[in-house]
Structure 1
């Protein structure tokens, strides 16, 4: 084996290919053939889109597992440990089998160069195939048409909402981005389009391929009901009363799409309505408007959102929990390819103060660089070179009436969690 330690494998993979992102299917398909990657599970759910992919995967995974099925999932990126990316029956894969999978990929690739994501995707598919679950839920990494996950044929494609992100690789409009995301569709394979106003490019591809499609707010919806904390899912023939398993107003739409997808996979009418609801109980996903218990007096929320639509969803969720006596502060750290000003603008009238964090990583922005991107009306209170300095300041300045949201990037949330 080339390496015995997981971190050594990961460090080596980062240096293996000349580009960190190099979209295309030739390399990964060639190595997958050598690995004999084929039928990795009885049923495959492929999840693509801009926002809500991780939440969608978590809801499918939890529901199916509680319903008695064996499940596997593959997501990216991770927060604290690489192992988070691959779960077999709800459990993160341990270091040893991950190293074994990496060795298998390394042996099969021969002289083929792979990106970090391609290497990890092939390892995940190899592990899932060895597990042979009833359901495998695969999250597309970037786009869809040229993403490594596309080499696996789906039995259900779930498209979350389409927004503007990763423009350098996917295009600068929802139409262009939608075309790339719709690249995971297969002829005749059913689709959940969990976007109430999808780009025309997505609808055209669904029609061209003859896919059965359930679209949010056209074929199904989720609405408030007369029971506090509950929501009614409404389909053409079915109705379920649900408790949202994840925090945040935006999670309602994610939940609605998963119920629609389950209806395409299973005869949901054979399940008691109470069972449909209860199978979502216990769904967890770190870093999605997640409230943390910390040594800070203030309420602390973390969210990995980093684009305009994510900011809009976060602002809506903050507006629900804000009290007249509370002060809301955002600790913001972002990458250079993100639209910082548009992200911050969504919080106008909700956030009372901005704390900026320098990210000392590839594509990371310094706090000064973030400030230069912002409108002069944005109230920047403090700038920090590291999270530890921010936490020390928060300990002395925030009260139990305050709320702090840590957001802007997976990196920002990761640094905060590591410092706690």
Structure 2
């Protein structure tokens, strides 16, 4: 089937499978075999985890590009354009190459029904194969063991963190979730775990598979100082590293990956990386007067990180928050309720979107004193306008957070004004 635009292709592939999510490798692997792809010149790096996948992929990509390697990076979801998901040397692919990739996948799949994510993953792998790259950096979409990214045998598996999320798909306890995410590991290949207080199933899965496991807190360590941080492991030590804008836990995992891969990063290399490493939607300042930050935090672990970031601001900010109803809203609010002066909660559209009134109930339960400072709105746009009025009058910043959907709606709103 021929489509004349990327928008047309995306509409088409969304309609090709009855389920938005259907974990499993069989369908995609059949199509992958028909594509007969070659591997990158150096290595495939696959990143799984509850939080920190995106920032870990970003830092790895930015480091490798700085060392003049050619890199293909596959991540999800996107904020404004699908092109963000598939990048060559840290730049999103253009519509033309994406459409060509979809044509190839459509021809190869024949009668095999692929999910949107499977179609996208295969397109990314085909583009990377055509580009003759040194490295592929692949972010797992959901879980690990049965995620379509795991169709490709990785050379380096990375697990960033483990916490309860997507329990309908991955299980309702950390041991089971850790086993699913560690399912990206391969025999005789490196597995780097950045998990704090790791479930025992990480080590047991590595042993069963025969992967070479290196764990944070056991094989490598990091320590935060007043203005800098340090890393040690494998007989290597780095002192006085700049504190990155991205989560330090993930930065420490990235150093471990580089060291254990044998890339021998220098102190200057790492200073340069952590001084400039960035990723859209991770406590990112996007406006001034007043300052506006966006953050995709949507589960308890990410909420703790966001609360820590907020603590560095001179005054409590104003929250614009929208969440999906299948997230642990209660726990997020427990960690964040008292971090803000005011809460402007908003409905999110779609079957998964939570109502602002539900968010308000959880905030009231966590911090009853905020009753006069918490309001519900029908959209991100209306909540943000109210937040701006408060922030300007009281000289506060605004933080838009709670979901990729919330941040995307804000970015779309800003784009429409330009």
Alignment TM class, shorter chain as reference: over 0.9
CA contact (8 A) 2:206 2:213 kept: yes
Q: Is the 8 A contact 2:316 2:339 kept in 1?
A: no
1:4-43 equivalence runs, <5 A: 4-43=4-43
Distance apart, 1:279 and its partner CA? 4.1
How far apart, in 2, do the equivalents of 1:195 and 1:111 lie? 40
Q: Distance in 2 between matches of 1:186 and 1:109?
A: 27
Q: 1:157 and 2:153 equivalent?
A: no
Number of the residue aligned with 1:118: 118
Question: What do residues 336-395 of structure 1 show as CA deviations (whole Å, max 9, x unaligned)?
Answer: 110111111102432222211111123111212333455434535221112222232233
Deviations 1:240-273 (A, max 9, x none): 23223324xxx111011011100122241xx542
Moved more, 388-397 or 374-383: 374-383
Counterparts of 1:265 and 1:252, CA distance in 2: 20
Residue 275 of structure 1: aligned partner? 269
Equivalent residue for 2:195? 195
Give the count of matched residue pairs: 408
Aligned counterpart, 1:299: 291
Query: Which of 228-237 and 4-13 deviates more?
Result: 228-237
TM-score (normalised: structure 1): 0.93
CA offset at residue 75 of structure 1?
Answer: 0.4
Deviation at 1:38, TM superposition (A): 4.1
Q: Which has the higher helix share?
A: 2
* Mean CA deviation greater in 87-96 or 281-290: 281-290
Q: Distance in 2 between matches of 1:164 and 1:231?
A: 28
Cα distance in 2 for partners of 1:135, 1:217 equals 28
Summarize the Cα distance change of 1:208–1:386 in structure 2 as closer, same or farther, 3 Å threshold.
same
CA RMSD of aligned residues (A): 1.7
In structure 2, the partner of 1:316 is 308
Deviates more, 1:166-175 or 1:362-371: 362-371
Equivalent in the alignment of 2:236: 238
Matched position secondary structure for 2:412:
helix
User: How far apart in 2 are the matches of 1:243 and 1:362?
Assistant: 42
**Residues 245 and 282 of structure 1 are in contact (CA less than 8 Å); yes or no, is this contact kept in structure 2?**
yes
- Asked if 1:266 corresponds to 2:262, the answer is yes
Structure 1: distance between partners of 2:379 and 2:391? 18
**Cα drift, residue 291 of structure 1:** 1.3
What residue number does 1:83 align with?
83
Aligned: 1:401 with 2:356: no
The structural deviation recorded for 1:219 is: 1.6
- Give the gaps of 5 or more residues in structure 2: none
The structure-2 alpha-carbon separation of the partners of 1:62 and 1:267, relative to structure 1 and needing over 3 Å to count, comes to: closer
Q: Match of 1:346, SS?
A: helix
Counterpart in 1 of 2:95?
95
CA contact (8 A) 2:319 2:387 kept: no
- For residue 292 of structure 2, give the secondary structure of its aligned residue in structure 1: strand
Q: Which residue of 1 aligns with 2:375?
A: 382
1:320 match: secondary structure: coil
Structure 1 segments unaligned to the other structure (5+ residues): none
CA contact (8 A) 1:64 1:279 kept: no
Please tell me whether the aligned partners of residues 203 and 213 of structure 2 are also in contact (alpha carbons under 8 angstroms). no
The C-alpha deviation readout for 1:280-324, integer Å capped at 9, x for no partner, is: 443221000111215xx3322111111111111111111122x3x
The whole-number CA distance in structure 1 between the counterparts of 2:272 and 2:172 is 41
